Amino acid sequence: MATPCATDAADVANEAIRRFMAARVGRPLWPEEQEEYEQLLAAWAEAARP
C-alpha cells in the first residue's frame, strides 16, 4: 500500500475537521469539543507542512 503524500494527509485531516464542525453547526463548541477541534487542527497543520 502506498503512503499518502502530505497533501493527501492534509486533505484527510481537513475533511475530518469539516465533518466535526458540520455536526456542531449553529452552536459554540463545548470545552471538550474545543480540545478535540484543536487536536484535529494540529494534525492538519502538521500534515500541511511542506
pLDDT at 50: 83
Residue (of 24, 19, 17) closest to 44 by Cα position: 17
Quick check: is 1 in a domain? no
Quick check: is 31 in a domain? yes
Q: Are 29 and 37 in contact (CB under 8 A)?
A: yes
b/e per residue 2-14 (b: at least 16 CB within 10 A): eeeeeeebbeebb
Domain range for 26: 6-48
Cα–Cα dist 47/45, whole Å: 5
For the chain, the average pLDDT equals: 91
Per-residue pLDDT of the chain (50 residues; tens, 9 = 90+): 445 566 799 999 999 999 999 999 999 999 999 999 999 999 999 999 88
Quick check: is 36 in a domain? yes
**Count of all residues that appear for the chain in the document:** 50
